[in-house]
Structure 1
Amino acid sequence: MQFSSYMNEWLYGEDGYYKNFKAIGKSGDFYTAVSTSSFFGASIANYFYSLLKEGKADRNGWLIEIGAHQGYLICDMIQWLYTCDPTLVSTLKFGIVERQPEVQKAQLAYIQERFGDDVQITHFNDISEVETAYAFVVANEIFDAFPCELFKDEKIAEVNEHRIEWVGAPVEMLSWAKKHYLTQGEIAVGYEDLAEKMARGIEKCDFVSFDYGEKYVRNDFSIRVYRSHETFPLFDEALTLSESYKQDDITYDVNFGHVCEAFVAAGFEEMFYETQARALIRFGLIDILELFSKQTTQSRYVSEADKVKTLISPTMMGDRFKLIHFRK
């Protein structure tokens, strides 16, 4: 089978890696900005609130997260929006796009724990189910979890019995590679479909997403397997695909140029593309931290400041992760 189908089965198939809820953070399989600090979500919500105040967003619309994992991010956002304007919790509608039933259950349990019956979440199995006049859609690290094809010297990877073989690439893929000056690397599958579905169902939309990668073709393979915070390049001789299949996470660096191309073609406009550090500071992260310092103990402030440093430090998440914001 083509590598994208193999990767799709690995991550999302029966008994796939994401079939059931995965723990995040230091004790889990992976570590994200969301699990680092609740101020990550608060900063994004603060940005959304600024759009609401400027009349660029609709207070009667939807706040939707794609791939919410346990639900930390959307809950942190709701909490901050309530702090800014308590009435927003009664005018906005909240949704999560998540197709795995077990993950949906974990999300609902966490949301109940955070807000009781005060906040209701609607689950969508796919973004195509969302139909509304306005939505602020947020996602953290979803583009790197799309299946991809592996391309090298005009050939693509096929997987037979967990072994990679190289076969001639189809004409359309050769054309794409030539257009983007790609000689080897990953070609994501599904960006165009996501953009088109979002554009069809949402009349006006702000889509904000964070991920790791660059806005150009690397001409190298970044695809790798994560196992208990250890990284193994896919072509590492020490890595056995049959052992990692469906047991470990698999990911690659995002080509934001490809993401942008897909969304612009679907009718979106690129508003911002910048480092996570620059985006979060622009969103008001430092102001939120300073406000927190006036309402807490010194030790708690120092602890939270260390977490914020992880989010914005150039040597940690600050420069490697990027924000991209599209508007329709």
Structure 2
Amino acid sequence: MKTKFSDYFNNWLYGKDGYYTKYKAIGKDGDFFTAVSTSMFFGGSIAKKIVDTISKKELPSNTTILEIGAHHGYLLADITQFIYTLNPKLLESLNFAIVERFEHLRVEQREYLKESFGDSIKVDFYSDISEVNLDDAFIVANEIYDAFACELIYTKEEKLQTAFVKNDKIEFEDCLDENIINRCKKYKITKGELALGYEEFAKNICTNIKSFHFLTFDYGEKYPRNDFSCRIYSKHEVFPIFEENIELDKLFKNSDITYDVNFSQVIDSFSNICKCEIEYQTQLKALVEFGILDLLEILQKNVSEENYLKEVQKVKTLIDPTGMGDRFKMLLIKK
């Protein structure tokens, strides 16, 4: 029996016993690192951006900070802690919410935030973005677009082909889906990944939240590489999806599968639905503009030199242009 690659990908991450259905450590004890696991100043810089956005009256002081895909809740906790440092009175008016599809993860998040802040903040939980109904929000979504299902695309003798999985092997067949063919033409994809589901996700946000700033970070570009980026992370080893002798059956659901994000698709998913402002730049430039270096100056005045230098090294990992700084991009969409 053969399975469309997009269904296989979705089942890998979200199906019964899928990778994201179980709580996974992130960082040195997990399969990969994220900006959140690298330094609390990632969340701190986002907090400063939120405080500055509210001070400029681009969003009200009682806006909702909404995180989509919060894992354990570390990022929202870092954001909250830094807001307290920068403008503690804001915590009296701000609202907080998380969108998380899995109930057991919502339990983990609720307990962690309760342990961290007690009753000083109230957090609402939703299982899907379609359940949200808000007048305004600052939405944070870190590394979610690389976890949307995708089709693998290949062009052979000028014919577009899509991938299927049969007996744990990937095979290609001529594509008969006009929608996929047209979208590949639009984004000039001849080889690589075509993401699915971005449009519905953007529509739910635009429909259910009247005014928002939507902030996301991920690895990718605004143009297609026209090569396969789909890969698997297992205990910090990287396995390209077409690596020779790869054992998909052993990696399936036990490791993370991902691909580079085509940010043009993300931008279009919003701009085709609503009138919005778009900001796109490297993580390095974004975090510096948000004020991450200013936060380090505050830290230097309040901790030992040893602790300060430890945090500086972590922040360097976030903004190093040869690493996360340029590899990861920031997208900010304002409606």
TM class by smaller structure: over 0.9
**Contact 1:268-1:326 within 8 A present in 2 as well:** no
Counterpart mapping for 1:35-74 below 5 A: 35-74=37-76
Query: Which letter does structure 2 place at the counterpart of 1:188?
Result: A
Give the Cα–Cα distance (whole angstroms) in 2 for the partners of residues 180 and 99 of structure 1: 30
Moved more, 84-93 or 228-237: 84-93
Give the Cα–Cα distance (whole angstroms) in 2 for the partners of residues 61 and 168 of structure 1: 49
Q: CA RMSD in A?
A: 1.0
Report the CA distance between 1:238 and its aligned residue: 2.7
Query: What is aligned with 2:234?
Result: 227
**Contact 1:138-1:207 within 8 A present in 2 as well:** yes
Report the CA distance between 1:271 and its aligned residue: 2.8
Partner of 1:318, secondary structure, is: helix
Tell me the number of residue pairs that the alignment of Structure 1 and Structure 2 aligns. 328
Give the Cα–Cα distance (whole angstroms) in 2 for the partners of residues 222 and 268 of structure 1: 31
Query: Which letter does structure 1 place at the counterpart of 2:170?
Result: I
What is the TM-score when the length of structure 1 is the normalising length?
A: 0.98
Residue 289 of structure 2 is aligned to residue 289 of structure 1:
no
Residue 93 of structure 2 is aligned to residue 87 of structure 1:
no
Give the Cα–Cα distance (whole angstroms) in 1 for the partners of residues 27 and 19 of structure 2: 17
- Structure 1 runs of 4+ aligned residues shifted over 3 Å read none
Counterpart mapping for 1:83-122 below 5 A: 83-122=85-124
Which ranges in structure 1 are unaligned for 5 or more consecutive residues? Answer: none
Residue 195 of structure 2 is aligned to residue 172 of structure 1:
no
Give the Cα–Cα distance (whole angstroms) in 1 for the partners of residues 18 and 252 of structure 2: 8
What is the TM-score when the length of structure 2 is the normalising length?
A: 0.96
Report the CA distance between 1:308 and its aligned residue: 0.6
Report the CA distance between 1:156 and its aligned residue: 0.5
**Contact 1:270-1:324 within 8 A present in 2 as well:** no
Give the Cα–Cα distance (whole angstroms) in 2 for the partners of residues 187 and 297 of structure 1: 49
Which ranges in structure 2 are unaligned for 5 or more consecutive residues? Answer: none
The percent of aligned pairs where both chains have the same amino acid is 47
Residue 202 of structure 2 is aligned to residue 200 of structure 1:
no
CA displacement, residues 19-38 of structure 1 (integer Å, 9 cap, x when unaligned): 01110111112101001111
Partner of 1:26, secondary structure, is: coil
Residue 327 of structure 2 is aligned to residue 325 of structure 1:
no
Give the Cα–Cα distance (whole angstroms) in 1 for the partners of residues 161 and 261 of structure 2: 21
Query: Which letter does structure 2 place at the counterpart of 1:298?
Result: E
1:24 counterpart (20, 26, 48): 26
Partner of 1:23, secondary structure, is: coil
Give the Cα–Cα distance (whole angstroms) in 2 for the partners of residues 134 and 126 of structure 1: 17
Report the CA distance between 1:87 and its aligned residue: 2.4
2:192 counterpart (173, 179, 185): 185
1:158 counterpart (140, 164, 185): 164
Moved more, 114-123 or 254-263: 114-123
Report the CA distance between 1:137 and its aligned residue: 0.1
Query: What is aligned with 2:312?
Result: 305
**Contact 2:83-2:90 within 8 A present in 1 as well:** yes
CA displacement, residues 78-112 of structure 1 (integer Å, 9 cap, x when unaligned): 11112222222221110111011221122112112
**Contact 2:95-2:121 within 8 A present in 1 as well:** no
Report the CA distance between 1:266 and its aligned residue: 1.9
